[in-house]
Amino acid sequence: MTDRKFRADPWDDEEDEAARPAFKRLTREQVQALGDKTHPVSPWRVIAVQVVAGLLVALLTWLITGRQSAAASALCGAAVVVVPGALMARGMTSRLSRMSPGSGAVSFMSWEFVKIAVSVAMLVLAPRIVQPLSWPALLVAMVVCMKVYWLALLWRGR
């Protein structure tokens, strides 16, 4: 049986604070060194890799199925991720979004809404654009293109 300590007030953090190390402020040089270690990834680089991934999925779909409509469906799926992502990247890299932290937050939320709305609109229009539409090919291309965002985290390094 394990020995547990029960506190009268479970929300009392006095014991926890005593166990924590003291907060230490960073010097200007330490902050600069930390900034030099982390390299931001350009959103345009992510978009470019998404385009390449979408083209590869479409090519593989065409080679495996032999159907142009399946490859077109995969291209449509890639476009559902790439086009809204490019719109958001354009909006977030504009001068207006970098004016202040407040305008940056509002810009991010606005462009995220635009990104979602454009994605939904493209999905609704997909069956009218690509005839006959292959939903599995479209969804596979979408998932592959969305997974490129995880690669961006690896590019940043540790």
pLDDT digits (tens, 9 = 90+) for 20-62: 667 778 888 887 877 777 777 788 999 999 999 999 999 999 9
* Cα 21 from chain centre: 34
Task: Count CA atoms within 13 Å of residue 140 on its CB side.
Answer: 16
Report the pLDDT value the prediction gives residue 151, as an integer from 0 to 100: 83
- Give the C-alpha separation, 125 to 95, whole Å: 32
pTM: 0.74
Report the pLDDT value the prediction gives residue 124, as an integer from 0 to 100: 97
- Picking from 144, 38, 50, the residue whose alpha carbon sits closest to that of residue 88 is 50
Q: Which residues, given as ranges, of the chain have pLDDT below 50?
A: none
